Amino acid sequence: MENKNYQQLTRIFTRLSRFSHLSSIASWDAFAMMPPGGSAARGEALAELSVLQHQILTDKQVAQWIAGAEQEALNDVEQANLREMTRHYQQAALLPESLVEAKSLAGSKCEHAWRTQRPANDWAGFSANLKEVVKVSREEAKLRAEAKGCTPYDALLDIFEPDMTSAQLDVLFADLKSWLPDLLQQVVEKQTRTPLIAPTGPFPIATQRELGLETMAQLGFDFNAGRLDVSAHPFCGGVPEDVRITTRYDEQELLSALFGVVHETGHARYEQNLPRNWLGQPIALARSTAIHESQSLFFEMQLGRSNAFLKRLLPSVVARFGDQPAFSEENFIAWNQRVKPGFIRVDADEVSYPAHVVLRYEIERALINGEIEVDDIPALWNEKMQSWLGLSTEGNYRNGCMQDIHWTDGGFGYFPSYTLGAMYAAQLFHAARTALPDLDNAIAQGDFSALFDWLRQNIWQHGSRFTTAQLIESATGEGLDSKYFRAHLTARYL
């Protein structure tokens, strides 16, 4: 049998991908459907599954097959798949089974309690659970860092963003800090000169849902392979053959649920268009969290908040909710492009959003590297919110350091992906516009086919075949450059 080591590996990874499928649907159910009483049992079941996957992946035969496959005559796709298999194996092999289980259990417990602790503003209760999550995350980071020869935080960052380092992030974020606060101030000053009319509700949830489903269909979501539900925190989960997205509704707020749906549809279209002939293999997975985030921000911000798209959307809004002064074309566009620094990251406009990300990045890096402790988070959070956005979160844990789900299950190293994703999205949209000179016109007509074909050709179909740097360079002709993000914000808002 040809390439027998490689073939053995493909079988193992197909098996792992099936378990991962079950795990992601069970997790989706826990967020969207499960009654609260099921939490402890579900947490234990998911921990058991993560231990099983860990056992399969770290079996000593896997290391032998990897070594053997490296000597076999593989084509370039197989070599890329082997590179990704090796990465997954090395990341798993560093961790003892007991730590995998402890991390899963601590995360389930912290996340489930957070759902009631956050509305209650209960920092004391939340921090007790978070300390356990941080403890196991630091253990994991230490093991990974020793093997990679890097800082503990960089070792966790590498899981979400292969080959990215905090040294590179510091350069990118220092650049942002040099111009973003000024830009933010200019935009806010400019916008206060034009008074806006707020849409007046209520906006019935059932009607909001219909609008969301219609918009998903226009954006090409495949309902034969996915669905829309409700959760406390919008997300995209499931697997390419069955993508689950969620949003959350507020009857007084028309557009946050809709743009939550547009954002998650960007994630979903990427998943639904990953290379089908490689499914079950690591090469068929999304390249990284920042590339994933670039797709959701491409949909939500580059496309969704553009004048052309908003003009196209407005008649559907009026048809469903009736006409009102806020729905004049000029006001509707301005309302959707308003910049208003606030407490909540997921509701932030795209100009102030990076402030939320850099703040979290600086805190979580210091936390994982052991420079600060959990008890230091609220004061640091308040200090950074004051300096970036002029807002105080003192005593307001619910809308401050307790607002996100990421840290509850040890997702340290994830936050930078959001702003990296915004930078990638701006660069990709610029490249798409250069390749498709009639793009704005097509968007205004509601014809997104050329744009989605461009994404399919340049991003979606490649999965993890290329490194992030190679993928961006082949799509845009150059490496990541934050100038496109700056140019986009300046053009849209100033």
What is the residue-level pLDDT of the chain in tens, covering all 494 positions? Answer: 689 999 999 999 999 999 999 999 999 999 999 999 999 999 999 999 999 999 999 999 999 999 999 999 999 999 999 999 999 999 999 999 999 999 999 999 999 999 999 999 999 999 999 999 999 999 999 999 999 999 999 999 999 999 999 999 999 999 999 999 999 999 999 999 999 999 999 999 999 999 999 999 999 999 999 999 999 888 999 999 999 999 999 999 988 899 999 999 999 999 999 999 999 999 999 999 999 999 999 999 999 999 999 999 999 999 999 999 999 999 999 999 999 999 999 889 999 999 999 999 999 999 999 999 999 999 999 999 999 999 999 999 999 999 999 999 999 999 999 999 999 999 999 999 999 999 999 999 999 999 999 999 999 999 999 999 999 999 999 999 999 999 999 999 99
CA distances from 31 to 114, 120, 166, 296, 377 (A): 12, 19, 31, 20, 26
pLDDT of residue 101: 93
Q: Omega into 195 within 30° of 0, i.e. cis? A: no
Report the distance separating Cα 467 and Cα 444, nearest Å.
Answer: 34
**Is 371 considered catalytic here?**
no
Residue 161 contacts residue 289 (beta carbons within 8 Å): yes
Strands 242-247 and 226-230: parallel
Report the distance separating Cα 401 and Cα 154, nearest Å.
Answer: 22
Beta-carbon contacts of residue 149 (< 8 Å; ≥ 6 apart):
none
**Partners of residue 245 on adjacent β-strands:** 228, 236
- 447's tokens: 């014809």
Of the residues 264, 271, 293, 364, which is catalytic?
Answer: 264
User: How many CA atoms, within 13 angstroms, populate the side-chain half-sphere of residue 420?
Assistant: 28
The phi, psi pair for 297, rounded to 5°, reads -75, -30
Beta-carbon contacts of residue 461 (< 8 Å; ≥ 6 apart):
273, 274, 275
pLDDT of residue 1: 65
Whose tokens are 């991962």? That residue is: 20
pLDDT of residue 233: 82
